[in-house]
Amino acid sequence: MMPALDWSLLQAFVAVVEAGSLAGAARKTGSSQPTMSRHMAILESALAVQLFDRTGAGLVLTPTGVALYEDAKRMDEVSRKIALSAAGHSESIAGTIRISASEIMSAFVLPSIITSLKIAEPEIDIELVSSDNTSNILLREADIALRMFQPSQAELICRKVGKVKIGMYASHEYISRNGAPVFPDDVLNHKLISEDKLNDTLEGYRSAGININREQFSFRCDSRLVQWKMVLAGFGIGFIQTDVGENEQGVVRLFPGIDMSELPIWLTTHAELRTSRRVRRVFDFIANELNKQYRD
């Protein structure tokens, strides 16, 4: 009978396949490239198969490797589900909660909320994933997520806690150099700030009745925090949620009487994690604080 495989070897294998390289898997798992290489050699030896072809372009899965990856991936998903279930039945409030939120919410909204939470619950530690990429709750990339759209997965518990209003802003310095647009279409004669690959700003302009295309933006970056810093630096005109813009003395809101985009705020967690006393406490605390600030 073949002895049971070390599960850590299969986890390393999955990481290598998904990262596309030993170095990438090492970064993802916090290991080292020699360790990942050694794990792959041990796994191939234990199974007496070749999992990868080593080519000049990198590692390429063999047919055997493809089949093993599918099985290992399913095992990985089961192990994550077991971890979720165990975490959900934990009654201890002490421990760590991982929260995912956009850069703007992470930088301007959550610091005061997390500080108040820490004062109220000193035994709870917070890890904050500040990114405009969506963390996958089902894969345990975060315990709680703030999202600007309603998640559709049945396994998630979601609560709408309010909505943010979006405004168009420019710095006083920029206005003094270039003048302020009088009519919405006048912004087409100004330096405009937008995303690179995303389309949110395009939709924002169009919601204000301004027909615009990507090539008319003078600066493009998918980081909304960087976009806002460029507005503050006086580069040009950009969008930000109004509660952030109105608290910045160095900028002026353009066309405040025109309704622009509004984004819902959804607080999300996994259904099994919702039974955890710690997750439930953090979820409810953040929901209440956001609702006070952003209620419809």
CATH 1.10.10.10 holds for 7-88 = yes
Give me the pLDDT at residue 107, please: 95
- pLDDT tens profile 7-17: 788 888 888 88
Give me the pLDDT at residue 8, please: 80
Give me the pLDDT at residue 132, please: 78
Q: What angle do CA 281, 146, 194 make, to 5 degrees?
A: 160
Contact 12, 25 (CB under 8 A): yes
Query: Which CATH homologous superfamily contains domain 164-262?
Result: Periplasmic binding protein-like II (3.40.190.10)
Give the residue-averaged pLDDT of 181-208: 83
**Residue range(s) in the chain whose domain bears CATH number 3.40.190.10:** 164-262
Give the residue-averaged pLDDT of 194-215: 77
Query: Where would I find the beta strands (DSSP E) of the chain?
Result: 52-55, 58-61, 95-101, 124-130, 144-147, 156-171, 193-194, 219-220, 238-241, 251-254, 262-270
**Residue range(s) in the chain whose domain bears CATH number 1.10.10.10:** 7-88
Q: Model confidence at 111, in pLDDT bands (50, 70, 90)? A: very high
CB atoms within 10 A of CB 239: 25
Measure the CA–CA gap between 83 and 89, rounded to whole angstroms: 10
Contact 103, 221 (CB under 8 A): no
Give me the pLDDT at residue 1, please: 44
